[in-house]
Amino acid sequence: MQEIKNATLCIDDGENSNVKQDSLQVPNVKINGNKNVYLEKFNEIVEENVVTPNVPLDIRNDYIARVITTAELAKNGKKYGAYLSQFEKVVNTALPNMGKDYVNKVVFDFRHKSIIVCSKQTAIKKEQVIAGICFREFKLRGFIEIVFCVVQLKHQSHGFGSFIMDLMKTYSNHLNIPYLLTYADNKAAGYFSKHGFVEDIELNEEYYKNYIKHYDGAKLMGVSVIEKVDYTLLKDQIEYVSRMADKLVIDIQPVRSYVSKTYAGIEHLFKESGKGNLKKSTIVALSKISGFERYNIRKLARIDPPEIDFEKKCQTILKELKSHKNIVWPFENPVSEEEVPGYHSFIENPIDLSTIKSKLDKNGYSHEHQFVADIKRMFDNCYRYNGSTSPYYAMAYILNKKFNVLQEKYFPDLFLQAKLPEAPTKEALEYCR
């Protein structure tokens, strides 16, 4: 993954074009262990030339995002003018009552910027603007005015509306501007409400009154942006934390033989340490993040007690897996460093069926969840180390499918699953026959 460098940005805040934001550093982000988050460029202005710091975006591989400013138009009018012209047409189609002259004036105004999402250029197809937000920054007053927020009609209901707003919030965060304001008519109010915008605006009226254009038949709505949150990654991060919490609940569960015992409380520990009055955490609650409801993240799963005979079922599953001799052999024993040099430096937590069997025999699992987690890790390790063209990848894929059937049979209510990755190539599958 490309390293992210610090960039000194010159930001037009709508009032003072000399306001600077120093040392904007975007973190190097990885997701799902073996897949780098898709990276694309936000174009920004420095004192002498244009730089393109990378911003992590959880975005479809067929699309890219750009921030267009009039300063870029002055340097490359043909390229960036084409983007804004396309965006202008999308706005006129989506908002015909605005009037073409007004839309043209705002989109090409030097005080406004536009975040646009485009399809990638191919050999037979040019880049095409899919969605965008035209906005104006009032940095010294602490807010950004969203003027237009549109998605091409044929691309609506495909997630672009949510994605473009996530980009807008993340971009606002990078500029340290805490509020987004907009005027929304009855049709748009539902969309903005979904993303956390409310009529009861937290920002004091004196900061935005007479600075933001009023629209007849529309209501002013606003949202506060949580500091340091990358909204483009928020859903994955919440899901990851939720899964980790589930796993920790399992890991700290006592062995079954001690479940019925009752222990004294721990109040005396606080008294002995003299730290009875703990300070409130500074971590922002998920419920405080505007628009959180739209992610539909499940509540923390209630972990049921382990099944009485779960170990017997796990042994049965292992026996079934081992019966597939033509595909199970790579997973029966630990990978040897002599046979595969460098394997253990790449795979930090190796696991195999013999190790799992040994843990089962020694009552090393207190819940079926832990058994499934180890099987899942075994498959994931194989997928990470081998590409989809590898026969080993194909064997893991086939065995993974068989395991999923067995899990559905013996542990149908368990939420943890060994999900299948990208399918192996036909050549790799042929090797397994």
Residues involved in catalysis: 145
Its sign, for the CA torsion 401, 405, 410, 415, is: positive
Q: Pairing relation of β-strands 143-151 and 179-184? A: parallel
The candidate with the shortest Cα–Cα distance to 100, out of 116, 84, 89, is 89
Rounded Cα–Cα distance for residues 31 and 52 (Å): 22
- Sign of the torsion angle spanned by Cα atoms 222, 38, 246, 282: negative
* 8 Å CB contact between 356 and 374: yes
Rounded to 10 degrees, what is the CA torsion of 284, 286, 289, 295? 160
Residue 364 corresponds to which tokens in the numbers above? 């090393």
Count Cβ atoms below 10 Å from residue 411 Cβ, excluding itself: 20
Which residues have CB under 8 Å from 120's CB, separation 6+? 62, 63, 64, 127
How far is residue 383's CA from residue 400's CA, in Å, rounded to a whole number? 11
Which strands sit side by side in the sheet containing 219-224, from one edge to the other? Answer: 63-68, 112-119, 128-138, 143-151, 179-184, 219-224
In sequence order, what DSSP letters do the residues of 12-47 get, joined into one string?
--SS-TT-EEEEE-----EETTTEEPPEEE--EE-S
User: 325, exposed or middle or buried, with CB in 10 Å at 0-12, 13-18, 19+?
Assistant: exposed
